[in-house]
């Protein structure tokens, strides 16, 4: 029979030839899940970057920051979205799409600007989700590694 081992939660079980029991298993799962989340987050970030790059958008020269930069990241997407809003409000006399009369010829331009801004803001959210996934994955890896270390100590 195997040797009696007390694991991290204080229970005793037989672990013939296996060190750590539940904490070892949880550690391995944490590392695997964390690695998958990091890989997924990086892949999402790269995917959004590639898609934005293929659009060949450049931040307008009168933007508040990053003038002339290619739109390939969340900051440049934000800068371009803000300058689109600035141009639209200048064109429409400070009115948004919803505030313009339905027969106003500028309403279509305001709608297009709104769609463009929404697309840029969606990319910003996608960058944020990618970063959140990768960061959470990194934390899961650290927890998994810690659980493995605890599992080794309990034997």
Residue 8 has pLDDT above 60, yes or no: no
Q: What is the pLDDT of residues 12-40, one digit of tens each?
A: 445 444 556 888 999 999 999 999 999 99
Range 80-103 average pLDDT: 96
Alpha-carbon span 24 to 47, nearest angstrom: 34
Identify the pLDDT of residue 155: 59
Alpha-carbon span 80 to 68, nearest angstrom: 10
Q: What is the pLDDT of residues 28-84, one digit of tens each?
A: 999 999 999 999 999 999 999 999 999 999 999 999 999 999 999 999 999 999 999
Q: Domain coordinates of the chain in residue numbers?
A: 41-153
Q: What is the 3-state secondary structure (H, E, C) of the chain?
A: CCCEEECCCCCEEECCCCCCHHHHHHHHHHHHHHHHHHHHHHHHHHHHHHHHHHCCCECCCCCCCCCCCECCCHHHHHHHHHHHHHHHHHHCCCCCHHHCCCCCCHHHHHHHHHHHHHHHHHHHHHHHHHHHHHHHHHHHHHHHHHHHHHHHHCC
């Amino acid at each position: 029979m195997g040797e009696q081992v007390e694991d991290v939660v204080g229970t005793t079980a037989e672990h013939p030839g296996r060190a750590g029991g539940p904490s070892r298993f949880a550690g391995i799962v944490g590392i695997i899940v964390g690695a998958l989340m990091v890989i997924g987050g990086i892949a999402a970030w790269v995917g959004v970057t590639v898609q934005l790059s293929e659009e060949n958008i450049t931040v307008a020269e009168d933007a508040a920051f990053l003038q002339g930069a290619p739109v390939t990241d969340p900051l440049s997407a934000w800068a371009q979205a803000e300058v689109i809003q600035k141009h639209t409000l200048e064109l429409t006399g400070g009115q948004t799409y919803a505030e313009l009369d339905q027969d106003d010829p500028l309403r279509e331009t305001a709608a297009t600007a709104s769609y463009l801004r929404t697309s840029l803001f969606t990319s910003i959210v996608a960058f944020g989700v990618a970063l959140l996934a990768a960061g959470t994955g990194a934390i899961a890896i650290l927890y998994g590694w810690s659980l493995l270390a605890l599992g080794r100590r309990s034997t």
